[in-house]
Amino acid sequence: MLNTTIGQLLLIVFSFLLVIVFSGKKVFASQPEPEFPPRIFIVGDSTACNYPQSQAPRAGWGQILQEFFADEVEVVNAAASGRSSKSFIAEQRLEKVLSSIEPGDYLFIQFGHNDQKPEVERHTDPFTTYQEYLSIYINGAREKGAIPILLTPVNRRNFDANGKLKLTHGDYPAAMIQLGEKLNVPVIDIGAKSQVLFEQWGPEGTKRLFLWLKPGEHTNYPQGVEDNTHFCETGAREVAKLVVEGIRELDLPLASYLK
């Protein structure tokens, strides 16, 4: 009788473990609500990071994101100019983020612009090392009880003669989407969304989204500037809107805090 009872208990425990391992989203949905409103930690590159007034009107979308959330949600923007998924980790920037992140917080992960650069300190290959480094962010967040979200790299301002955007990120967006499917991580496809946005604005209109200034137009750029990678405040705000759109489309619990 005792052996039978133990066997039944072991079978119940084993069945429960199988549910945990294979139910993915069910486990996520059944997590207890955090005691406090979640924070949003952003890791990424210059398209997302904060800029000082001395570089205004240059701005990253992460610098603007706070505007779209209720005051009790804090956006912690750790994105840094020039970093790739590899160099961000090598400089112990991810370690610093993970030391602060708590259960119920979100980790927004957007890299790709600098992963394609040739320098060994930054370069990754889309379907091998890029995915391996992104997995470190994902696993690190999950180990802390936080929720990882992948965001494909935002496009550059690069049009062909027909007004269609030239896509310059190669296989990196596809590799990120593939990894998201494999590891059951939500993906906001900012690459695809920004392509639609930029083509709507067109070759001339998008100059108002990027850091394009005529000589003498702004005291921080007396000689003018024509930058097809980095945004002005208007462009950063439009890209932040795409991030918000993605949050709503994924029906993340975070969406309840949007204004």
Residues classed as catalytic: 46, 226, 230
Alpha helix stretches (DSSP H) within 23-112: 25-29, 61-64, 85-90, 93-100
Give the angle subtended at the CA of 137 by the CAs of 131 and 142, to the nearest 5°. Answer: 120
R_g (Cα) of the chain, nearest Å: 21
246 contacts 254 by C-beta, under 8 angstroms: no
- Cα–Cα distance for residue pair 121/116, rounded to 1 Å: 11
* Residues linked to residue 75 through DSSP beta bridges, in sequence order: 40
**Residues in CB range of 107: below 8 A, 6 or more apart:** 41, 43, 97, 101, 137, 140, 141, 146, 147, 148, 149
- Cα–Cα distance for residue pair 62/46, rounded to 1 Å: 10
Among residues 188, 202, 100, 177, the alpha carbon closest in space to that of 141 is found at 100
